[in-house]
Amino acid sequence: MSLIHTGLPAPGWRWIKDRLWSLERAFEKSRASGRAENDARIRIFVVMVLFLAGFACLAVGATRLALFSGIDVAGVRGGGAGPGRAPLVDRRGALLAADLPYYTLYLDPRDVWDRAETRAAVLSALPDLSVTRLDRALKSSRRTFLAGPLSPRERDRVHALGLPGLVFEQEPRRVYPLGNSAAHLIGFSDTGGEGLAGAEGALNDRIRAGAPDQQPTPLSIDVRVQAALDDELNAAATRLQAKGAVGLITNVQTGEILAMSSWPAFDPNHAGESSPDQLRNRAVASVFEMGSTFKVFTLAVGLDTGQITPETVFSTTKGMNIGSRVIRDLHAVGHDMTARDIFLKSSNIGASQIALKVGGPTMTNYFEAFGLFKAAPIELSESARPILPREWNPNTVASASFGHAISVSPVALAAGVGSVLNGGRYLPLTLQPMRAGARPQGRQVLKEETSRQMLDLMRRNVLEGSGRRANAPGLRVGGKTGSAEKVIGGRYVRDKVLASFAGVFPTDGALSDDRYMVLIMIDEPVADAESGGRTGGLTAAPTAGKVIDRVAPFLGVNRRFEQVAALPAPVVAPVQTAPAPAGGR
């Protein structure tokens, strides 16, 4: 018998080859000397060594499998590649989203001792489990999925049964502890760890990159501010039986979004159970004719170009004819109005005259500078493009002056109005926080003097004009209301209104001071006893006032009660106005 053969690789096996040749020579020597018993002993010894080596390899493999296979003492196998997404937190570090360990339960019927006992015990531990699925798994001939994802508590209940055949696999699951609060802004991801919507989708690469060391990705929102906005918007939309609603709070100096709400909301923990209407982020993905909030732009352009001053008088006693169309005011007055009064009384006639006085080309240039001709440049991919007129003739210019004929998203409106309030710099809105005191340069679209005049006008509107119900004591609130009849089937429908309010606080202080914009939009509110109507001044403005009253302490805005002098009654002299240019719609 020979223990070796030729052809072994020389370098790696030389030592083994030499030892085996030594054994072979020992065997030959034993046979030659007539001591066969020694030859047998040596062969038995070699076989024993080989068996021991084999058992040692098996022991090492079993130990490695037990320690590193991913199966723990509770029968749990680690699944997948581990947590695939870093946590999301708000600007103060409060948790918004995180990967947490959840468990999937499998049943291997080949290891089950008593099917009836297993069936009864599993159903007692997991009462919501499908009986049909359990019975099918028990009758199967192979390992079968039974339930999941299970929470650690549910896993412990099943594990405590101590039944063979039940095996767990651990996998990360994205959890959203705030539920439906800020759901549209935060968004959600799929089971494979890819962001699908909101910040989860927009910042997907950054969130995935932070997964190995679980480095949190901060967002610009403040959960305290968000909770107050959610609460008040939900209360108003429910009470007014609205079709939908939007709330936004931004820092106009930085463009940071501090809170964003879209109603109806959804729970990102169960996004698959939500309807398309719930999943739509109306603040970003929908466009609307925003109504008289556009008068903020119209007055700002008139002042910035020098075509008007707050005291410029316009004839507003009669409807304004443009082609076949007559522009009227919701509440007609029997006298001419200054530009200031046009803003405070929200006169469509006066706004149209201001826009036509400025001129169509100049108005559209400013509208474009305010960011109204493109999808809002925010990180969210859902950002919708506006619907613009085919032609900017006098009719469309006049209509756009009070928020008709052009449809934009609420975030686009908020960014544009923010540029009117921060010293004239257009800043894109952002979901990412900035350092304290940051002042992005932005794009200058208005003179600083114009911004100061508009802050004063908006404060006057809350004190004396259409926005009175938005006033929050001591917080120096300003704003502009909007009430736009909705277009349905190509026609404006009087009893379908989009009510809105674009507010700002505080209106005093240096132009460079932190200042916050609050936008409330309520889609098709139904008048009730509390509101007394459907307009922005009766529905959206009071909601904005409640929001501002609640969030001011979180934003560091102190109450200060200023003395505001009443405006003297203007001396209105007769004025000759040129007839409006004709033009079809």
Domain boundaries defined on the chain? 10-68, 78-219, 226-266+283-551
pLDDT (tens digit per residue) in 137-195: 888 888 988 887 887 888 899 989 888 989 888 878 899 999 999 999 999 999 888 99
For residue 463, give both structure tokens: 């004190």
What pLDDT does 43 receive?
A: 64
Nearest to 200 by CA among 381, 50, 423, 329: 381
What pLDDT does 562 receive?
A: 74
Reported confidence tier of residue 520, pLDDT bands at 50, 70, 90: very high
The highest-confidence range among 156-160, 330-334, 505-509, 528-532, by mean pLDDT, is 505-509
- Would you say residue 576 has pLDDT above 70? no
What pLDDT does 178 receive?
A: 95
What pLDDT does 437 receive?
A: 87
Reported confidence tier of residue 102, pLDDT bands at 50, 70, 90: confident
Task: Give every CB contact of residue 187 below 8 A, 6+ residues apart in sequence.
Answer: 195, 196, 197, 198, 199, 200, 201, 202, 268
Euclidean distance between CA atoms 419 and 368, whole angstroms: 12
Q: Which of 310-324, 346-360, 372-386, 409-423 has the lowest mean pLDDT?
A: 310-324
- Would you say residue 72 has pLDDT above 90? no
**% of the chain surpassing 90 pLDDT:** 61
Task: Give every CB contact of residue 344 below 8 A, 6+ residues apart in sequence.
Answer: 457, 460, 461, 464, 465, 466
Question: ω into residue 149 within 30 of 0, thus cis?
Answer: yes
- Would you say residue 462 has pLDDT above 50? yes
- Would you say residue 430 has pLDDT above 90? yes
In this structure, how many other beta carbons lie within 10 angstroms of the beta carbon of residue 326? 11
What pLDDT does 324 receive?
A: 72
Euclidean distance between CA atoms 356 and 123, whole angstroms: 74
pLDDT (tens digit per residue) in 477-496: 999 999 998 888 878 888 89
Reported confidence tier of residue 196, pLDDT bands at 50, 70, 90: very high
- Would you say residue 419 has pLDDT above 90? yes
CA-to-CA dists, residue 317 to 338, 395, 435, 481, angstroms = 12, 20, 51, 21
Of 111 and 408, more confident: 408
320 - beta bridge partners?
327
SS3 assignment, position 84 = coil
What pLDDT does 103 receive?
A: 85
What pLDDT does 170 receive?
A: 80
Question: ω into residue 11 within 30 of 0, thus cis?
Answer: no
Reported confidence tier of residue 45, pLDDT bands at 50, 70, 90: low
User: For 66-78, what is the mean pLDDT?
Assistant: 46
Candidates 181, 262, 286, 292; catalytic one: 292
pLDDT (tens digit per residue) in 260-313: 999 999 999 999 999 999 999 999 999 999 999 999 999 999 999 999 999 999
Q: 395: left (phi > 0), else alpha (psi -120 to 50), else beta?
A: alpha
Q: Which helix (H) or strand (E) holds 263?
A: strand 257-263
- Amino acid letter, 403: G
Reported confidence tier of residue 220, pLDDT bands at 50, 70, 90: very high
Report the predicted TM-score, pTM, of the whole model to 2 decimal places.
0.79
CA 44, 48, 54, 55 dihedral sign is positive
CATH superfamily of 78-219: Penicillin-binding protein 2a (Domain 2) (3.90.1310.10)
Q: 246: left (phi > 0), else alpha (psi -120 to 50), else beta?
A: beta
User: For 8-26, what is the mean pLDDT?
Assistant: 58
CA-to-CA dists, residue 3 to 42, 107, 355, angstroms = 12, 48, 104
Q: Give me the architecture of the 226-266+283-551 domain, per CATH.
A: 3-Layer(aba) Sandwich (3.40)
Q: Report CA 458 to chain centroid distance, whole Å.
A: 29
Identify whether 69 is a catalytic site residue.
no
What is the 3-state secondary structure of 463-496? HHCCCHHHCCCCCCCEEEEEEEEEEECCEEEEEE
User: For 551-560, what is the mean pLDDT?
Assistant: 96
pLDDT (tens digit per residue) in 366-405: 999 999 999 999 999 999 999 999 999 999 999 999 999 9
Q: Which of 21-30, 188-197, 299-308, 418-427 has the lowest mean pLDDT?
A: 21-30
Euclidean distance between CA atoms 523 and 526, whole angstroms: 9
User: For 440-467, what is the mean pLDDT?
Assistant: 96
- Would you say residue 564 has pLDDT above 70? no
Reported confidence tier of residue 79, pLDDT bands at 50, 70, 90: very low
Of 71 and 169, more confident: 169
What pLDDT does 5 receive?
A: 47
Question: ω into residue 310 within 30 of 0, thus cis?
Answer: no
Residue pair 320/582 in contact (Cβ under 8 Å)? The answer is: no
- Would you say residue 6 has pLDDT above 60? no
Nearest to 96 by CA among 181, 173, 171: 181
What pLDDT does 372 receive?
A: 97
- Would you say residue 579 has pLDDT above 60? no
